[in-house]
Every structure is written in C-alpha cells, then in structure tokens.
Amino acid sequence: MSLTPQDVQQQKFRVRFRGFDVREVDRFLEQISESLASLHAENKTLKEELRRLKMETQGYKEREETFKRAMLNSQKVMEQMKDNARKSAEIIMADAEVKAEKILNRAHNRLSQLHEDIAELKRQRMQIELQIRSVIEAHGKLLEIGKESMDALDASDEKVAVLKQPPSTLS
C-alpha cells in the first residue's frame, strides 16, 4: 500500500497513559508529510520526464530505423548505378571495338585496292613506255629510211645536175 502525504496528515493515534507527546508526534508527522509530498512531486516529475524521454527515445529509434533503411536503399541504388555504369561501359567498349575493327577492315581493303591500283599503273606505264619506244624506233627507222632516200635522191640530183651542166664546163 502506498501512502500519500494526506494519509500521513490524517493519521490519528490513540493517546494512552504515559504515551508520546502529541504535539511532537504531530510535528514529526507534518515533517514526514512534507517530505513525502516533496518525494511524491519529485517522483511524479521524474516519471513524467521518464515517459517523455522514452517517447523521445522511441522517436530516435524510429528515425534511426528510417535512416538505416534509407542507407540500405541508397547502397542498393549505388550498387545498381555502378552495375549499370559498368554494363554501359562494357557496351560502349564493345561498340568501339566493333567500330575500330570495321575501320581497320576498311583501311586494309583500301590499302589492298591502292596496291592493286599502283600495280595496274606500273603495268600501264610499262606498256606506254614500250609503245613510246616502239613509236620512237619506228620513227627512227622511218627517219633512216627517209635519210637514205634523201641521200639517194641527192645523189641522183647530183648526177642530173652534172648532166644538166653545159658541156663547156665539163672540160
């Protein structure tokens, strides 16, 4: 059973012969009542403070759980972002490798085509050189033939000129 300050103040004792001094007992009971009242008030204040702190602690625990969930979610999101970035980088790298391979293939094909073109141009140059030599040789032979015929004509012209000279000059 818990006592209240009122219970202490209202407590009455029977007086007997040779008993305690009533005024002393009443003063002592009044002091106990005041102490008990003070303790009661302090206890009530502490209980209220405890209740408030428990509620505050509960709020902190709820926020802590919320923060933990948020941290876990953000970690998951970060991991997903890393995975997505890694996958994206792999796709970009693979695409770049394919493009580079295509560029190299085109360059090799172009190089082969250029080598073929150079070989064809060399062959054509050799043919043109042969044709020019043939033409030069043919013109050289024609010039020789023409010179021989001119020499022959010149020789025959001299004979004719000698024959055309008046006889007096011959002697």
Average the pLDDT over 34-61 and give the result: 93
Residue 171 located in a structural domain:
no
Residue 165 is given by DSSP the state: S
Are 8 and 38 within 8 A, CB to CB? no
Average the pLDDT over 129-156 and give the result: 89
CA separation for the pair 147, 141 (Å, rounded): 9
Residue 110 located in a structural domain:
yes
CA separation for the pair 104, 100 (Å, rounded): 6
Greatest C-alpha distance within the chain: 218
- The radius of gyration of the chain from alpha carbons, rounded to an integer in Å, stands at 67
CA separation for the pair 14, 41 (Å, rounded): 30
Residue 142 located in a structural domain:
no
pLDDT exceeds 60 at position 165: yes
pLDDT given at position 65: 96
**pLDDT tens for residues 20-38?**
777 788 888 888 888 888 8
Half-sphere exposure of residue 67: CA atoms within 13 angstroms, side-chain side: 6
Are 61 and 40 within 8 A, CB to CB? no
pLDDT exceeds 80 at position 167: no
Are 5 and 30 within 8 A, CB to CB? no
* pTM summary value: 0.43
Residue 165 located in a structural domain:
no
Average the pLDDT over 39-47 and give the result: 92
Mean pLDDT, the chain, whole residue set = 88
CA separation for the pair 147, 153 (Å, rounded): 9
Q: What is the dihedral of CA 97, 103, 109, 112, to 10 degrees?
A: -100
Residue 131 located in a structural domain:
no
Percent of the chain with pLDDT over 90: 60
The more confidently predicted of residues 153 and 115 is 115
Residues in the chain: 171
Residue 42 located in a structural domain:
yes
Residue 129 located in a structural domain:
no
The more confidently predicted of residues 5 and 93 is 93
Average the pLDDT over 83-109 and give the result: 96
CA separation for the pair 9, 3 (Å, rounded): 10
Average the pLDDT over 139-155 and give the result: 87
Residue 39 located in a structural domain:
yes
Give the domain range for residue 103.
Answer: 5-121
pLDDT exceeds 90 at position 8: no
Confidence of residue 169 (pLDDT cuts 50, 70, 90): low
Please state the domain count of the chain. Answer: 1
